[in-house]
Amino acid sequence: QVQLVESGGGLVQAGGSLRLACAASGSIGTINAMGWYRQAPGKQRELVAATLHDGSINYADSTKGRFTISRDNAKNTGYLQMNSLKPEDTGVYYCTAKVDGRDYWGQGTQVTVSS
C-alpha cells in the first residue's frame, strides 16, 4: 500500500555533492519515522541517518558534518543531502520509513564516488 521511490543517485567525483530523494506514495496516514541506509559491496548495510523516536536525528559518525536529512511533508518526500563525498561513501543507498507502524523500504539507488 505504501511505496518508496528513490532518485538522485549517480557518479560523482570526490569532493562533490549529491541529493537523494525518497518519495512516498500510497495509503499514507502518519509517518512515524524515516531514515537512510547504505551498503557497500561485501559489507553489511549500515545506518546513514535516521529520525529517532523522540524526533531527533542520528547520523553515522562517518557522515556527521557532511550529510543532512530533511523532509517535505507536503510532498511526502524525504531528502538526503550529501556533501564532500568520499570514495568510501560509495554504495547502494536505501530509504526507509515507518508508516502507520509498518516498515517500508525503497529499492535502493547507486552512489559511486570516484577518486
Structure confidence at residue 95 (pLDDT)? 96
> How far apart, in whole angstroms, are the C-alpha atoms of residue 24 and residue 35?
13
pLDDT digits (tens, 9 = 90+) for 6-36: 999 999 999 999 999 999 999 888 778 889 9
At 38, the pLDDT band (50, 70, 90 cuts) reads very high
Q: What is the DSSP pairing of strand 91-99 with strand 67-72?
A: unpaired
Question: For residue 30, with 0-12 CB atoms within 10 Å meaning exposed, 13-18 middle and 19 or more buried, which class applies?
Answer: exposed
With beta carbons less than 8 A apart as the criterion, state whether 37 and 48 touch. Answer: yes
With beta carbons less than 8 A apart as the criterion, state whether 107 and 22 touch. Answer: no
Structure confidence at residue 88 (pLDDT)? 96
What's the rounded mean pLDDT across residues 38-42?
Answer: 94
